Structure 1
Amino acid sequence: MRAFLDNLRLALGTFLGNPLRSLLTLVGIVIGVATVITMMALIEGLREQVNKNLGSLGAHTFEVTKWPTGFGRINWAKYAKRKDLLGDDVRAIVESCPSVGAATPTSQEWGKKLTTAFRETPPSVSVLGTEPTYLETSGVVVSTGRFFNETETLDGRPVMVIGVDLADTLFPGMNPVGSEVRLQGRPFQVIGVLQKRGSVMGMASQDNQAIVPMRAFQQFYGKNRSVEIDIQARDGESFQKAQDEVVNLMRRRRGLTPQEANDFEVHTNESMTASFNELSQVIAFAGVGVCLLSLVVGGIGILNIMLMSVTERTREIGIRKALGARRRRILGQFATEAVMLSLVGGVLGLGLGFGFVFLGKWVLLFPMSVPMWAVLLSLGMSCGVGLIFGIYPASRAARLDPVEAMRAE
C-alpha cells in the first residue's frame, strides 16, 4: 500500500510538473469520454421519453396501418402498392371482432397554419381527422371544453379541438372555447383544448395539434386516402386475442392466402419500442466507434509522453535502482503515471460530457439522462487505455541498467 501511495505521489508530481504538455496529450481521451457520455445520455433520455409517451397511450391499444415503422433503408415504393385502409375496415372490425372495444380511424396532415383575426401560427401545425372514439383509443384528455360528438362527426361540422401550444399562440391569456379559427380560409369553432402532453422524444410537440371530425378533414384533404386504425381491446386479458381477431379479419377482407404475408402492419407499444431500440443500438455503436478512435489517439499521446518521460528521467531511474529499487517498483511507478494521466483525461471528458448534457437538456430542450454505467464505462476505458499504452514505456524504464542510466546526461 505504501509503495502504491509513493507511486501515486510521484505520478502527481510528474503531472503537475508539466501540466500543459500533459493536458494536450489527453485531448483524444477527453473527446472520447465526452462522446460516450453525450451519446449514452441522449439514448437513455430518448428511451425514457419513448416509454413515457407510449405509457400515455390508451390502455391495451394497438394500431393497424398501411405503412411500417422502423429505421434504415425501407422500400417505401413497395408499401405504397398496398391496398388502402378505409372506413369500411373500421366498421368491419367493430362489428366482427368481439374482443375489440373500440376502433377509430385517423388521418393526419402536417405543416398547416391556423389563423385568427389577430394572430396566426407558423406553418407547423398537425391537423388530425378522427372520430369521437379517439378519446378511448389514444389516451388524450380534454382539459377545457369538450370533444366533438357523433352527430358533429357525421355532419362534418367545422368544429375543432386544439392543443395547448395552439391555444397559447392564438389566444394568449384567454379561454379559446367558442372562438373562431381558420384553416385554409375556412372558419372552425374551437370547442375544446387538450391537456398538455409534451413532445415526442423531445422534438415534435404533441400540443401543436388541431383535431377535427373525419368528414370535415376529408373535405379538405380528400376521401381517397388510407387511414390508420387505432384499436382498443375490451380489457387487458383480451389484448392478444383482439390482435389475432383483427389480423384474421383483415386477411380475409384483403383476400390473402395462408402462404401470403400480411399487406398491413400491426403496431403495439412493444413493436414501437423494439424499433426505437434498433435505432439506439446504431447510435450506440457509432458513439463507441468514435470513442475508441479518440481513445486510441489519446493512447498514442500517452505512449509518446511516457517515452519522453523515461528518456528525461533516465538518470533518476538509475539512481533509484542503484539505491535498491526493484524492477517491479519502477514498472509500477511508470504504469501508475500512465493510468493516472489517462484517468485525469477521463475526468475532464466526464466534465465536458456533462456540460454537453446540460446544454442539450436545458438549452436545446432535448431529453437527456446520464446512466451510471456510462460513467463507469468511460472511466474504465480511459484507465484501460492508459494501462495498455503505458506498459511498454514502464517496462522499458524497468529494464534500464542502473550503471548506464546514471551515466546519462
Structure 2
Amino acid sequence: MRAFLDNLRLSVGTFLGNPLRSLLTLVGIVIGVATVITMMALIEGLREQVNKNLGSLGAHTFEVTKWPSGFGRINWAKYARRKDLLGDDVRAILESCPSVGAATPMAEEWGKKLTTAFRETPPSVSILGTEPTYLVTSGVVVTNGRFFNETETLDGRPVMVIGVDLADTLFPGMNPVGSEVRLQGRPFQVIGVLQKRGSVMGMGSQDNQAIVPMRAFQQFYGKNRSVEIDVQARDGDSFQKAQDEVVNLMRRRRGLTPQEANDFEVHTNESMTASFNELSQVIAFAGVGVCLLSLVVGGIGILNIMLMSVTERTREIGIRKALGARRRRILGQFATEAVMLSLVGGVLGLG
C-alpha cells in the first residue's frame, strides 16, 4: 500500500511538473471517451424517438404505398415507374375487404409557404391532403377547434387544420381558429390545431404541417397523382387478415400473375422499425469505428508521453536502481502515471 501511495505521489508530481504535456495527453482521451458516449446516446435517442413516432400509424393500422420504407441505396427510379395508387383503390378496399374498418388516402407536398396579413412561413411547410378518417387511421388529436368533415371534403372547401409549430409561427400568442391563411394566394380558414407530434426519423417536423381536404389539395396539385393509403383493421385480431385481403385485392386490381412480385408496398409499424434497426446497425458499426480510432489516438498519446517520460528520467531511474529500487517498483510508477492519465481523461470525457 505504501508503495502504491509513493507511486501516486510521484505521478502527481510528474503531472504538475509538465502541465502542458499532461493536458494535451488528456485531451486525446477526453475526445475518445466523449465520442463513444455521444455516439451511444445519439443512437439510443434516435431509436426511442422512432419507436415513439412510428405509433402515428394508429392502432392495428398499416400503410399501402408504391414506395419502399427502407434506407440506404434504393433505386428510386424503379419504384417511380410503378402504377400509382388512386382514390378508386381506397373505395375498392372499403367495399371488398370485410376485415378493414377504415381506409384513408393521403397525398403530400413539401416546401410550401403559408401567409397571413402580417406574417409568413419559410418555404418549408408540408401540405397534406386527406379525408376525415385520417383522425382514425393516424391517431392524431385536435386540441383546438375541429377536423374537417365529409361535406367539406366532398365540396373541396378551403379549410385547414394546422400543426402547433405553424400556429406559433403565424399566430403567436393568439387563437388561430377562424383566422385566414393563404396558400399560393388562395384563402383558407383555419378550423383546428393538432396536438404536438414531433418528427419521424428526422424527416421534418409533423408540427410544421397543414392538412386540407383531399379535393382542395387536388385543385392545387392535380387529381391523378399517387396517394398513400392508411388502412385500419376492424380490430387487433383482424390485423393480419386485413393485410392479406388488401394485398390480394391490390394484386388483382393491378393485374399481377401469381409468379410476379407485388408492385406496391405494405408498411406496418413493425416493418418500419425493422428497417430503422438495419440503418441504426450500420450507423452503430460506423460509430464504433470512429470511437475506436479516437481511443487509439488517445492511447498513442499516452504511449508517446510515457516514452518521453522514461527518456527524460533515465538518470532518475539509474539513481533509484543504484539505491536498491526494484525493476517492478519503477515499472509500477510509470504504470500508475499511465493509469491516472487514462482515468482522469475518462472521467472528464464522461462529464
| TM-score, scaled relative to structure 2 | 0.91
When residues 247 and 317 of structure 1 are mapped into structure 2, their CA distance, relative to the original with a 3 A threshold, is: same
The answer as to whether partners of 2:57 and 2:230 remain within 8 angstroms in 1 is: no
When residues 19 and 174 of structure 1 are mapped into structure 2, their CA distance, relative to the original with a 3 A threshold, is: same
The answer as to whether partners of 1:49 and 1:202 remain within 8 angstroms in 2 is: no
- Bigger drift between 40-49 and 169-178 goes to 169-178
Match of 1:221 in 2: 221
The answer as to whether partners of 1:57 and 1:140 remain within 8 angstroms in 2 is: no
Match of 1:388 in 2: none
- Bigger drift between 270-279 and 150-159 goes to 270-279
Distance 2:48 2:299 in 1: 34
Distance 1:48 1:233 in 2: 26
Q: How does 1:251-266 map to 2 (within 5 A)?
A: 251-266=251-266
Cα deviation digits, residues 276-297 of structure 1 (max 9, x gap):
2233223222222222223222
Distance 2:72 2:96 in 1: 36
* Structure 2 counterpart SS, 1:203: coil
Distance 2:143 2:294 in 1: 51
The answer as to whether partners of 1:127 and 1:212 remain within 8 angstroms in 2 is: yes
Distance 1:77 1:141 in 2: 36
When residues 261 and 336 of structure 1 are mapped into structure 2, their CA distance, relative to the original with a 3 A threshold, is: farther
Distance 1:83 1:340 in 2: 65
1:82: Cα distance to partner? 0.7
* Structure 2 counterpart SS, 1:288: helix
When residues 2 and 262 of structure 1 are mapped into structure 2, their CA distance, relative to the original with a 3 A threshold, is: farther
Deviating runs (4+, > 6 A) in structure 1? Answer: none
The answer as to whether partners of 2:142 and 2:193 remain within 8 angstroms in 1 is: yes
1:14: Cα distance to partner? 2.1
The answer as to whether partners of 2:121 and 2:169 remain within 8 angstroms in 1 is: yes
Cα deviation digits, residues 116-169 of structure 1 (max 9, x gap):
223222211111000110000111111122111112111211111111222222
Correspondence 1:20 to 2:17 = no
Distance 1:203 1:6 in 2: 58
Structural RMSD (CA): 2.0
Cα deviation digits, residues 256-285 of structure 1 (max 9, x gap):
222222111111112222222233223222
Cα deviation digits, residues 182-221 of structure 1 (max 9, x gap):
2111122222121222333567221111111111111110
Distance 2:239 2:328 in 1: 66
Distance 2:181 2:27 in 1: 56
* Structure 1 counterpart SS, 2:207: coil
| TM-score, scaled relative to structure 1 | 0.79
Cα deviation digits, residues 318-344 of structure 1 (max 9, x gap):
344445544333333322221221222
Distance 1:187 1:98 in 2: 40
- Identity value in percent: 96
Distance 2:54 2:185 in 1: 35
Count of residue pairs brought into register by the alignment: 346
When residues 271 and 8 of structure 1 are mapped into structure 2, their CA distance, relative to the original with a 3 A threshold, is: farther
Match of 1:122 in 2: 122
1:247: Cα distance to partner? 1.7
* Structure 2 counterpart SS, 1:232: strand
- Bigger drift between 180-189 and 106-115 goes to 180-189
The answer as to whether partners of 1:108 and 1:128 remain within 8 angstroms in 2 is: yes
1:79: Cα distance to partner? 0.6
